[in-house]
Amino acid sequence: MIRKLILAAAALCVAGAANAQEMELKYATAAPEPTPWGKFLNDTIADVAAADATVKIVPYFSSALGDEQTALRQTVRGRIDMSGQSGVATSLVAPSFELLNSAYLFDSPEQSDCMFDNHIGPIFADQMENSGLVLLSWVEVGHSYTSSKEKIHTLEDIKGVKLRVPPTAASRLFYEEIGANPVPMGVVDMVPALKTGQVNGITTSTVYGIAIGLPKLAPHTLVHKATHDVGTVTVSKKVWDKMNDSQKNAMGVIDARVNDLRTAIRGAEAGLLAKVASAGAPVYELPEAEKARWREAGDRAAQKLIAEIGGDAPQIWEQIQKAKAACS
């Protein structure tokens, strides 16, 4: 769906120099290179170059240009040309995008895929473009989990625990609802906070958290899959407006590898959790009865989130629910 939108936009563009000068684009990402996200980025860079040799994308891995929030703000300003980020960061420029991070919103990964492939892009594309970004593709971030210093198996266990959560209202409201003491912060600050005792656990995406070694610092691994985070690949509208038709069409091919990344991340989630368990660290998956309690808290938090965002949030939530019904 995103690729179709991009190609349509490029077709409507009237000017475009046939012999355009090479464009070198800085691409910011929090992902380390030796991860599925790193492979996705390197593969798509090659795809774009094959489609139009005048487009040269230079990746900056591991938050080399700042954390997600900083990089996205700089992309809006045109100081960074492109960025790939979580849905958490995307909500900085499209506040209602945060609704997609509501706990237990999706019934399955397949439902989420259907929604993003067919419905979500048109809901947010204009909002993002008005904020200075052009939406190119989705980024599978994966399901959330928690690494903690002490075991968390029930809502009673999590009560009062100082827990790093993503810096969004969606996360804060949900973890308050289940009784934790949420401490919102970006990924760059969360490991130092854990080491100094500012927090006693970290909630983040499963692949990212295990890949950076969180179970070594907080050995209790809780598999709750409270959120299924889908991020975005964006290009600064200031950069986009300078591209000719061929270059815009080349950028559209980034969307072709979305399913490859989904497969890689979901496979990595299962593999990394198994690796943690085989190393002797305690891995606990919420049973359905306990998860039902978390879901109820998620429903309450979602209603508080809609009210807190305000503006068009009720209408956007209704569109999301219609997309969910269409993909059920």
Residue 280, sorted as left (phi over 0), alpha (psi -120 to 50) or beta, turns out to be left
Give residue 17's pLDDT band: very low, low, confident or very high (50, 70, 90): very low
Question: Would you say residue 273 lies in a domain?
Answer: no
The Cα–Cα gap between 16 and 132 comes to: 21
For residues 33 and 182, state if they share a domain.
no
The Cα–Cα gap between 103 and 182 comes to: 15
Domain region containing 150: 145-226+281-326
Question: Would you say residue 274 lies in a domain?
Answer: no
Q: Tally the domains of the chain.
A: 2
Give residue 325's pLDDT band: very low, low, confident or very high (50, 70, 90): very high
What pLDDT, in 10s, does the model give residues 40-97?
A: 999 999 999 999 999 999 999 999 999 998 999 999 999 999 999 999 899 988 899 9
For residues 187 and 84, state if they share a domain.
no
- Contact call for residues 131 and 96 (beta carbons, < 8 A): no
Residue 110 is given by DSSP the state: H
For residues 25 and 127, state if they share a domain.
yes
What pLDDT, in 10s, does the model give residues 125-147?
A: 888 999 999 999 999 999 999 99
Tokens of 322: 């219609």
Q: How many CA atoms lie within 13 A of 166 on its CB side?
A: 31
Q: What is the pLDDT of residue 21?
A: 84
For residues 219 and 118, state if they share a domain.
no
- Inform me whether the pLDDT recorded for 148 exceeds 60: yes
For residues 185 and 305, state if they share a domain.
yes
Domain of 204: which CATH number? Answer: 3.40.190.170
Instruction: Flag the least confident range among 14-28, 184-198, 207-221, 235-249.
Output: 14-28
For residues 211 and 118, state if they share a domain.
no
Instruction: Flag the least confident range among 13-17, 33-37, 95-99, 260-264.
Output: 13-17
For residues 242 and 295, state if they share a domain.
no
For residues 195 and 123, state if they share a domain.
no
Q: How many CA atoms lie within 13 A of 45 on its CB side?
A: 20
Question: Would you say residue 275 lies in a domain?
Answer: no
- Inform me whether the pLDDT recorded for 284 exceeds 70: yes
Q: What is the pLDDT of residue 15?
A: 40
278: part of which helix (H) or strand (E)? helix 258-278
For residues 150 and 236, state if they share a domain.
no
Which residue among 268, 296, 318 closes a domain? 268
For residues 58 and 186, state if they share a domain.
no
For residues 105 and 218, state if they share a domain.
no
Q: List Cβ neighbours of 131 (8 Å cut-off, separation of 6 or more).
A: 76, 93, 94
**Among 96, 45, 150, 112, which residue's Cα sits nearest to residue 265?**
112
Q: What is the pLDDT of residue 16?
A: 41
What pLDDT, in 10s, does the model give residues 299-323?
A: 999 999 999 999 999 999 999 999 9
Question: Would you say residue 129 lies in a domain?
Answer: yes
